Amino acid sequence: MSAASSSNAVPEGGSPQGNSPAGGAGRPAAQAIRLLADRPAYAAPPQPVIQPLPRHSPAVGGLVPFSTVDWPGQLAAVVFISGCPWRCHYCHNVELQTRAARYDWREVRAFLETRKGLLDAVVFSGGEPLSEPRLPAMIRDVKRMGYRVGLHTAGIYPLRLADVLRHLDWVGMDIKADAKGYDDITGRRDSQRPALACLTQLLSAGLDFECRITWHPDWLDESRLMALARELARRGVRRFAVQAARAAPGAPVARALSNQAQGELRQAFQEFSYR
């Protein structure tokens, strides 16, 4: 699962996850759920297509209609884009690695029209959403509806990120490892280089963003994790999250990050969370 991957590992019309603690400026989850319950449902979420879509169709691989965990502090729908050139061995969304249009973007867009006033934002996740050539137009569609737009990315395509950056309100960027371990995680050579280029863009743009890492001590021991975190803080990253690796969504954590490390990370960043 790339950075583009949501913590919601159920893209195919899955059950939205809610009630998770979230910081930031959005409405509380309980209030949001009451609001959704009190308002009529104007449309059911679209279903996967039965007949193949034309080749030029955006590769929408899934939709979560309501999430409180994919953009901290915001109530968001999550649109999953199929396609990712990396092969991270811990990926929980392997069905989104190969490009395929499983949902009709026109139907997804029509559904989002009915949720205006109920949701704050739309997050494009994946897969790697920047792998979709039509993403700029999709973002413009969402912006015209009045939504804020978030992006999950692993930082694979710096030029494509530069093309959409001015239209984004928030980015969640995966940091896979330190320089020594990057290619081992992604299964691709020289994979840290584009990620660092994307991080530099985010820092220069002054955009609200979070860096996060999916962490297991067998891949990156705690001392290397801390060295990586200090380097991110030195570069100017203000929000950092460590996501404990799990065998499956909801499974217990194999080995927890030490309390000492968590304390140091809270001191190093303006916002830190351990998930």
So what's the pLDDT on residue 51? Answer: 83
Residue 3 forms part of a structural domain? no
Residue 192, in any domain of the structure: yes
Q: Could you list the residue range(s) of the whole structural domain that residue 123 is in?
A: 29-207
Number of domains in the chain: 1
Give the contacts of 133 (CB within 8 A, at least 6 positions apart).
Answer: none
Q: Cα separation of 129 and 227, whole Å?
A: 29
Is residue 243 one of the residues assigned to a domain? no
In a domain, 248, yes or no: no
**Residue 141 domain-assigned?**
yes
pLDDT of residue 29: 56
- The DSSP H or E segment spanning 264 is helix 259-268
In a domain, 254, yes or no: no
End-to-end C-alpha distance for the chain, whole angstroms: 16
Residue 274 lies in a domain: no
- 259's tokens: 């309390």
pLDDT band at 102 (very low <50, low <70, confident <90, very high): very high
- CATH of residue 186's domain is 3.20.20.70
pLDDT tens by residue, 159-217: 999 999 999 999 999 999 999 999 999 999 999 999 999 999 999 999 999 999 999 99
The pLDDT value given to residue 252: 87
For residue range 221-241, what is the model confidence (pLDDT) as tens digits? 999 999 999 999 999 999 999
Higher-scoring residue by pLDDT: 31, 20 = 31
Confidence of residue 1 (pLDDT cuts 50, 70, 90): very low
Cα 114 to chain centroid distance, Å, stands at: 23
> Is residue 171 a part of any domain in this protein?
yes
| Cα(174)–Cα(215) distance, integer angstroms | 11
